[in-house]
Chain A
Amino acid sequence: SQQGEEDPQALSIQEGENATMNCSYKTSINNLQWYRQNSGRGLVHLILIRSNEREKHSGRLRVTLDTSKKSSSLLITASRAADTASYFCATDSGTGNQFYFGTGTSLTVIP
């Protein structure tokens, strides 16, 4: 399966701390995307990183991609209670435009 696998499955931190989530995948990709999903809601797109990129930033978010290790990380700096959600990575198949999702990391930020 091409599905990404997030690690850890669950993460609980204090407000203001940084949160790091990792994603590993199995085959070559063109792109990797990170999403957030609040409980009972839809998925919100956070960042897309292409296979020729190593790092991207968006506000308090920093995503890295290491294609040699087939892994990516999402760093949320100075976390807030509103960041509490599940975070998913999605990888393409390398040959098509479809994306496959991992099982997600459940992040809880304690005020």
Chain B
Amino acid sequence: DAGVIQSPRHEVTEMGQEVTLRCKPISGHDYLFWYRQTMMRGLELLIYFNNNVPIDDSGMPEDRFSAKMPNASFSTLKIQPSEPRDSAVYFCASSLVQGMTFFGQGTRLTVV
């Protein structure tokens, strides 16, 4: 398996634009997580899914953020409209229940 695959690896966008981050979890994993990493706040859990269903989105910063998982092999994290303070590295991760959690390489988002 190629591991958790995220795209794009880098994204630079202007304030106010919509940003969509994509993730393909490891095949067979039934949990998917979205994290955000910044120098100030470290690694924050934004939302996680179990069997494609959102379980806990309490970490999503505000309504501008939304995440979907239409099937077991794909998830998106959308920011609309984007703001400079959204600049961060966004990680997707997947796991089996109570198992090791594997991370993608991350998407480095810069909002100017």
Interface residues of A (CB under 8 A from B): 30-31, 33, 35, 41-45, 48, 88, 90, 96-104
Check A42–B43 contact: CB distance below 8 A.
no
Check B45–A97 contact: CB distance below 8 A.
no
Q: Point out the residue from B45, B50, B95, B104 that lies within 8 Å of A100, measured CB to CB.
A: B45
Q: Point out the residue from A30, A48, A100, A104 that lies within 8 Å of B100, measured CB to CB.
A: A48
When A and B form their complex, what is the total count of cross-chain residue pairs whose Cβ atoms lie within 8 Å? Answer: 48
Check B105–A30 contact: CB distance below 8 A.
no
Check A42–B99 contact: CB distance below 8 A.
no
* Minimum CB–CB distance for B68 against chain A, Å: 18
Residue of B33, B35, B43, B99 ringed by the most chain A CB atoms within 10 A: B43
Identify whether the interface residues of B are mostly helix, strand, loop, or mixed.
Answer: strand
Identify whether the interface residues of A are mostly helix, strand, loop, or mixed.
Answer: strand
Check B56–A98 contact: CB distance below 8 A.
yes
Interface residues of B (CB under 8 A from A): 31, 33, 35, 42-43, 45, 48, 50, 55-56, 91, 93, 95, 97-106
* Minimum CB–CB distance for B102 against chain A, Å: 6
* Minimum CB–CB distance for B69 against chain A, Å: 15
Would A101 and B42 be within 8 Å (CB), given that A96-B55, A96-B56 are in contact? yes
* Minimum CB–CB distance for B36 against chain A, Å: 11
Residues of B near A31 (CB, < 8 A) are 98
Pairs of residues from A and B, 8 with the lowest C-beta to C-beta distance, nearest first? A101-B43, A43-B103, A42-B105, A48-B100, A103-B42, A98-B48, A42-B103, A42-B106
Residues of B near A101 (CB, < 8 A) are 35, 42-43, 45
Check B103–A97 contact: CB distance below 8 A.
no
